[in-house]
Structure 1
Amino acid sequence: MTQTVYFGTYTRRNSQGIYKADLDPTSGHLSQLTLVAAEPSPTYLAFDQAGHLYSVGSKDGQGGIVALDQKGQVINHLVSEGAPLCYVAVDEKRQLVYGANYHKGQVLVYQKQADGSLTLADSDTHQGHGPHENQASAHVHFSDLTPDNYLITCDLGTDQVITYDVSPEGKISKLGSYQAAPGAGARHIVFHHFFKMAYLICELNSTIEVLAYDGMGDFEHLQTISTLPEDYTGPNGTAALRLSADGRFLYGSNRGHDSIVVYKIVGDGMLELVEIVPTQGNNPRDFNITPDQNYLIAVHQDSDNATVFKRNPETGKLTELSHDFYVPEAVCVAFEK
């Protein structure tokens, strides 16, 4: 039985929207690229358990979020003046959807209705800037849940990780913040499954900050580790961050060096470098581990190809199987819940 893989894309050149493909779980072979929904630059995807798909959305020159049904038909757009979101996440417990708007520096909360449509529940606009040339203003790049069900955001413009309490109705109130290294560019964060730890990938200085997480948004910095080889001096920006289901390995993507970095998570939750593997494409903005944990799929925004790696569950290492499956302008890899 094949596994369905979904791809979010930009639509600046050849892409038409959201695509899906079949993955053979025995061979790791991708096939049958199919357009699911024609939507302008649906760059991030999130499914709920009912099968609704939420994505970055645009309509009539305005930007925001779009809700789609199981057939890829639009349920509703929720847009406003300016750029669309860059990240979308689902809160099943409270029946909410969270969005991050990079250009506006906003975190947004939406209520899900019975038919899967969305209404705006609340929002917050970050303020501030950082020392890097890309940090002239706040740039919220991530908005998702902590293990204790608070809303957490990463702000690439201010180097802050800000946590919010969330009411059942979707109203948010700020709990606290963690300040990453100046100019780091906090982009995405993942939490360990059983250690009280979090891993923050920083786009602008190509590092991961290892943090102790005490709950309710309280973090303590423990380690900073590079995502790049020691002898690499070219341009780079990190992108995606994924944790294996068994909590033993952490993976991150490099754009510029065009690679996946693999770390082992040791007994105290710290990171040890395992390997850095070329992705055989240009600008691997996103990748994901398949639900069976056997494969890792990386997609490339600029070279229009997906690379499939076989994943060794004992060592965490990746072995390339293919890099020639065509996906136009892909920037997100997602699976149904």
Structure 2
Amino acid sequence: MQETFLLGTYTKKSSKGIYTVQLDTETSTLSEVQVMIAESGPTYLAQSLNGVVYTVSANNGNGGVAAYSPDGSRLNIVAEEGAAPCYVAVDETRQLVYGANYHKGEVTVYKIEHDGTLTLADRIVHEEPLGPHENQNHAHVHYADLTPDYRLAVCDLGTDSVYTYDVSEQGTLTLVARYQAEPGTGPRHLAFHPNGRIAYLFGELDSTLTTLAYHQETGTFTKQQKISTLPADYQAFNGGAAVRVTKDGQFVYASNRGHNSLAVYQIHVDGQLSLVEIVPSNGEIPRDFNFNQSEDFLLCAHQDSDNLVLFSRDAKSGKLTVVQNDVVAPECVCVTQKKA
């Protein structure tokens, strides 16, 4: 079976934009990476069910979100002076796109028009107190995506907070709750368990996973557990990156930039985690990774060593085995399954 992944990248060196790579699940091999869309700085992207690609765009001092048709033609871009977002997500139910802007400390909402183009609907700038880490010099929104009950959850690395917003049909945001993480956590990404009642928060600055209970009645999070994603004896630099939960709700995976590894955890009945293994990612700065459709494989992208690594995954134990590590993908920082 052939499955296609989309790859978002920086374009500071040799990268041309958004790439595709195919996985042959029968031979356990990745094909050569191909350019799909020429775009400047498409570091994160998401796809609608009809195949429209919504991507970060950074060009000539302007940043925003661009829309591309399934054949790679640009539909439009909504951009303004300043840094681009670092995360985008699609809301199919309300036909919205969400953006998280790290440098501006803001959440943006865009309306998807009938032709797939975008118009700005709302924006929120965070102004809460900052954490103690040197990288918490400003609000730094790093993630904005849907909760299982269709609220918007937002991670802010600078304010050590996870915000929960109600979203109107027009895309207007209303704050309903804020979870305050421990000082210096640096909330980066959030991944929900399939049961919709548990989420796993990756702290970029302290390299931890926090198990959070999500209360749909109020939109609030409460801490259940917090554990490191690093070996106990590791003291050098690390920055947490991506976190994913398997569809069967049995395992959590997290990538470590610096230690250059993937941490694997088993999920217990109460939602808490126990370590299965920490394995080398076989590259430098594993910024993102994702599973194929059956979750028999995991594809990991490395920002600094420009390579993709394909792992096979044992569904019973959760353990990973390298099967390919020599596929060139320049400056890759986002991996997502292609929908159409």
Alignment TM-score > 0.5, same fold: yes
Which amino acid in structure 2 is aligned with residue 283 of structure 1? I
Which residue in the other structure is 2:312 paired with? 310
Structure-1 separation of matches of 2:157 and 2:79: 23
Structure-2 separation of matches of 1:178 and 1:265: 22
Which residue in the other structure is 1:239 paired with? 241
Structure-2 separation of matches of 1:111 and 1:208: 33
Deviation at 1:195, TM superposition (A): 5.7
Give the match's secondary structure for 2:21. Answer: strand
Give the match's secondary structure for 1:285. Answer: strand
Which residue in the other structure is 2:168 paired with? 167
Structure-2 separation of matches of 1:265 and 1:26: 29
Which residue in the other structure is 2:187 paired with? 186
Give the match's secondary structure for 1:70. Answer: coil
Range 269-278 or range 32-41, more displaced: 32-41
Structure-1 separation of matches of 2:54 and 2:213: 31
Given that 2:32 and 2:327 are in contact with CA atoms closer than 8 Å, whether structure 1 keeps it comes out as: no
Unmatched 5+ stretches in structure 1: none
Structure-2 separation of matches of 1:274 and 1:236: 20
Which residue in the other structure is 2:6 paired with? 6
Which residue in the other structure is 1:115 paired with? 115
Structure-1 separation of matches of 2:236 and 2:223: 27
Structure-2 separation of matches of 1:28 and 1:143: 33
1:98 aligns with 2:98: yes
Give the match's secondary structure for 1:268. Answer: coil
Unmatched 5+ stretches in structure 2: none
Which residue in the other structure is 1:257 paired with? 259
Which amino acid in structure 2 is aligned with residue 41 of structure 1? G
Which residue in the other structure is 2:81 paired with? 81
Structure-1 separation of matches of 2:167 and 2:138: 25
1:39 aligns with 2:39: yes
RMSD: 0.9
Which residue in the other structure is 1:149 paired with? 150
Structure-1 separation of matches of 2:232 and 2:219: 33
Range 32-41 or range 255-264, more displaced: 32-41
Deviations 1:202-225 (A, max 9, x none): 000000111111113211111001
Given that 2:17 and 2:35 are in contact with CA atoms closer than 8 Å, whether structure 1 keeps it comes out as: yes
Give the match's secondary structure for 1:273. Answer: strand
Structure-2 separation of matches of 1:259 and 1:18: 24
Deviation at 1:33, TM superposition (A): 1.4
Which residue in the other structure is 1:228 paired with? 230
Structure-1 separation of matches of 2:288 and 2:28: 18
Which residue in the other structure is 2:130 paired with? 129
Given that 1:58 and 1:77 are in contact with CA atoms closer than 8 Å, whether structure 2 keeps it comes out as: no
Percent identity among equivalent residues? 52
Which residue in the other structure is 2:213 paired with? 212
Structure-2 separation of matches of 1:212 and 1:27: 40
Deviation at 1:231, TM superposition (A): 1.1
Given that 1:195 and 1:269 are in contact with CA atoms closer than 8 Å, whether structure 2 keeps it comes out as: no
Which residue in the other structure is 1:298 paired with? 300
Structure-1 separation of matches of 2:106 and 2:321: 39
Give the match's secondary structure for 1:32. Answer: coil
Give the match's secondary structure for 1:168. Answer: coil
Given that 2:187 and 2:204 are in contact with CA atoms closer than 8 Å, whether structure 1 keeps it comes out as: yes
1:61 aligns with 2:64: no
Given that 1:165 and 1:175 are in contact with CA atoms closer than 8 Å, whether structure 2 keeps it comes out as: yes
Give the match's secondary structure for 2:286. Answer: coil
Which amino acid in structure 1 is aligned with residue 114 of structure 2? A
Deviations 1:45-91 (A, max 9, x none): 10000100001013443001110001111111100110001000000
Deviation at 1:22, TM superposition (A): 1.2
Deviations 1:241-295 (A, max 9, x none): 0000101000000000000000000111100000001011000000001111110
Given that 1:59 and 1:77 are in contact with CA atoms closer than 8 Å, whether structure 2 keeps it comes out as: no
Structure-1 separation of matches of 2:28 and 2:170: 42
Which amino acid in structure 2 is aligned with residue 331 of structure 1? V
Deviation at 1:2, TM superposition (A): 1.0
Given that 2:287 and 2:301 are in contact with CA atoms closer than 8 Å, whether structure 1 keeps it comes out as: yes
Give the match's secondary structure for 1:88. Answer: strand
Deviations 1:110-140 (A, max 9, x none): 0001111000000100113210000011000
Structure-1 separation of matches of 2:12 and 2:196: 41
Structure-1 separation of matches of 2:23 and 2:249: 24
Q: What is the TM-score when the length of structure 2 is the normalising length?
A: 0.98
Structure-2 separation of matches of 1:172 and 1:277: 40
Given that 1:162 and 1:217 are in contact with CA atoms closer than 8 Å, whether structure 2 keeps it comes out as: no
Structure-1 separation of matches of 2:47 and 2:32: 21
Which residue in the other structure is 1:158 paired with? 159
Deviations 1:297-321 (A, max 9, x none): 1000000000000000111110010
Which residue in the other structure is 2:269 paired with? 267
Deviation at 1:21, TM superposition (A): 1.1
Structure-2 separation of matches of 1:27 and 1:164: 44
Which amino acid in structure 1 is aligned with residue 316 of structure 2? E
Which amino acid in structure 2 is aligned with residue 63 of structure 1? G
